[in-house]
Amino acid sequence: MYIAAVVISILLALASLAAGAPKAQLKGDVPDGLIQKGLSATMVRLIGLAEVAAGVGLVVGIWWQPLGIAAAAGLAVVFIGAVCFHVKWGDYRDSAARNAAMAPIIFFALAVAAAITLAASQ
């Protein structure tokens, strides 16, 4: 179970860091799009910082599982918020935006899997 926990944690951490860094720096198309849809720059930056912190927590959680479990749970909450945001904007009904809107659902499942495998590997 430990090998699965490590693999899932690293993959989720890489995705979280890649998604969070541009938001934390407010650089790129994604932060601009979120701001245009009504989120404040501060909120976008906080979301990005939460994603970056969760990515770091997942990597450290490989050696100290309680931190990894907390990081995965926190990331799951962030992804639930992202799903709610996509629902609010009707992205799941729009065929052009649906593919991008599916990412938080997939990453939510990975975050839950990371928390479960880290807990089981203690």
For residue 82, pLDDT beyond 90: yes
pLDDT at residue number 23: 96
For residue 100, pLDDT beyond 90: no
* C-alpha pair distances (Å), 22 with each of 33, 63, 68: 12, 27, 23
Give the pLDDT band of residue 1 (cuts 50, 70, 90): confident
State the Cα angle at 116 between 113 and 121, rounded to 5°: 120
pLDDT at residue number 25: 96
Per-residue model confidence as pLDDT tens digits over 37-81: 889 999 999 999 999 999 999 999 999 999 999 999 999 999 999
- Overall pTM > 0.85: yes
Residue boundaries of the structural domains of the chain: 2-120
For residue 97, pLDDT beyond 90: no
C-beta separation of 104 from 83 below 8 A: yes
